[in-house]
Structures are given as C-alpha cells and as structure tokens.
Amino acid sequence: MSGGEDFFVRFWGVRGSIACPGTAWARYGGNTSCLEVRCGGRLLIFDGGTGLRPLGEHLRAQAPVDADLFFTHSHLDHMAGLPFFSALFVPENRFRMWAGHLIPERTLRDVICAMMAPPLFPVPIEVFTAETVYKDFTAGETLSPSAGVKLRTALLNHPNRATGYRIESNGRSICYVTDTEHVPGRLDRNIIDLARGTDYLIYDSTYTDDEFPRFVTWGHSTWQEGIRLATAANVKALAIFHHDPDHEDRFMEQVEVDARKTWRGAFVARENMRLVLA
Ligand SMILES: [Zn+2]
Ligand SMILES: [Zn+2]
C-alpha cells in the first residue's frame, strides 16, 4: 500500500433497518451497515450488516485474513451479514469480534449463537472454520487492537444500547457513530467528546428534522443534528449515514443538496465510497 492509502474507510453498506434491493436505491446503495477500515497495516471491520457479504467476496483474494470486527450493537441490520461472510469459512483466516453494549447481561458469542440457531437459522456458529475469538467490553473503554491503532469508544442513546467508535492512527481519525437518538436542543456530550477534531464523523442520519418528531424513541437521529454536532465538535467532514429504507435515491440527492447548503463539510455516504486519510 502506498503511503497515502495507509488509512482509509470503504463503505460496503450504508442503509439502516433493512436491505433495499432495487433500482430506486441503486445509486446510494441498498446494503445495511458495514465499513472496511484499513490503518496501521490492519483490517478493521465495523458492523456486519448485509454489506459484509460483498466484503467477504472482496477479501477472497487476500487470504489469509487477520482482522477485527467491531459491532456497534446487535440489531439485525448490523448482524445479518455475518453467517454469509465467506471469510469465516477459510481455516487460515483469523477474526476477533468485539461488542461494547452487551455485558453484564449477555455476551457477543451468546447473541450470535441465538441468531444462528434453529428455527431461525439452520446451522450453528461451529460452521465457521476460521479461528474466531469473541470479546466483550464496556462502551467507554479504550481499545488497542494493534500497535499504532487506538480505538476510543462511547455509549450511544439507542434501544438495547450501542457503541460509538473513534479510530485513531498516525494523528488522523474517523468517528463511527450509529445508531443513536438525540434530544432536540441538547447536544450529546458523549458524542462531542468522542468526535472532537476528527477528520470524518460518520453519523446516524436516518431522518430529517421534519420527520424526526414522528420517530421519537426509535433510536435514530437526523442529518441536521449531525451538522450541529460536527460544527460544535470542530469536525472536518460529516458523512450522512444509515439511510432510511423509505429514502430512495431521489430523496437522498435532495438531502445531499440541502446538507451541503447548510454546511460545506457534509456529504452523503454511498456504497463503495472510499475516504482516504492522506
Ligand atoms: Zn441500525
Ligand atoms: Zn439499531
């Protein structure tokens, strides 16, 4: 890898709630949450939505793969790709999977076992032939998945809890903050502290401010709140993320126009988009 590509993020899924196949969603993408991050020579994956399946195909040529997979939480739109992640069926591969929202009541391994159990799913996690390790932590802890890579984490406001991440390497950083609900008129201190000065804030922008009042307690936020947080935390750029399945391409194009007019640092994340931290 050349120096300029040492740290990048690629979006494999940008949709929230449920995957949306079809031409009306084709330009922004229909797969649910999944990010590939490369930094410090490591592969870090964030969330296992349906975007994890095409990422697995992409990794086929790169075996053996040694990577960490961090879940924001365990709602199905962030987990459903896991049983279809072909890299878990390669014995030479090694994965560490992490979650910060489950202990002390449950563990990540228990939750994946529950998802992959009859009659919901025909085969158990023992079908994974790659070496897999399951790790639980408490949102708020700082993790060091490898030398030179620091992960700060924060608790988000979401039903059944969720974890926000800040990935730091070589003085650059990306924040991944989904799924989370804001309280109108009160910026979330946890998120501001996590995102302060970051290069990219990838933020749960499921709704617009106009739509938001109908979805209070659903656990999501708006692109306008993303801009308020980004400017308060001195963020360099905001990626609008976790698009509502009801928001077809034409709607998202208008979001992009409106968001850019509001703040020049805002843009809408699309499937296959790559952000390079040069
Ligand atoms: Zn979600
Ligand atoms: Zn969720």
pTM higher than the cut 0.95? yes
Please give the Cα distance from 205 to 271 (Å, whole number): 15
Cα(234)–Cα(212) distance, rounded to whole angstroms?
Answer: 24
Q: Measured in angstroms, how far is the CA atom of residue 242 from the centroid of ligand 1?
A: 7
Rounded distance from Cα 191 to ligand 2 centre (Å): 17
Q: What's the CA-to-centroid distance between 1 and ligand 2, angstroms?
A: 34
Span from the CA of 6 to the centroid of ligand 2 (angstroms)? 30
Structure tokens at 7: 């740290």
Query: What does the pLDDT read at residue 3?
Result: 45
What's the burial of 231, exposed, middle or buried (CB within 10 Å: 0-12/13-18/19+)?
A: middle
Distance 105 CA to ligand 1 centre (A): 21
Please give the distance, rounded to the nearest whole angstrom, from the Cα atom of residue 162 to the centre of ligand 2: 7
Distances (CA, A) of 239 to 103, 130, 264: 30, 33, 12
Max CA distance (Å), the chain: 51
d(CA 173, CA 195): 9
Please classify residue 86 by burial: count the beta carbons closer than 10 Å to its beta carbon, then call 0-12 exposed, 13-18 middle and 19+ buried: middle
CA dist list (Å): 154 to 60, 144, 213, 263? 33, 15, 25, 25
Q: Based on the number of CB atoms within 10 Å of its own CB, is 92 exposed (0-12), middle (13-18) or buried (19 or more)?
A: exposed
Q: What is the pLDDT along the chain (278 residues), one digit of tens a residue?
A: 344 468 999 999 999 999 999 999 999 999 999 999 999 899 999 999 999 999 999 999 998 999 999 999 999 999 999 999 999 999 999 999 999 999 999 999 999 999 999 999 999 999 999 999 999 999 999 999 988 899 999 999 999 999 999 999 999 999 999 999 999 999 999 999 999 999 999 999 999 999 999 999 999 999 999 999 999 999 999 999 999 999 999 999 999 999 999 999 999 999 999 999 97
**CA 147–ligand 2 middle distance (angstroms):** 31
From the CA of 34, which ligand is nearest? 1
For ligand 1, the distance from its centroid to the CA atom of residue 43, given in whole angstroms, is: 22
What is the whole-number distance in angstroms between the Cα of residue 78 and the centre of ligand 1?
Answer: 6
Which ligand does the CA of 73 lie closest to?
2
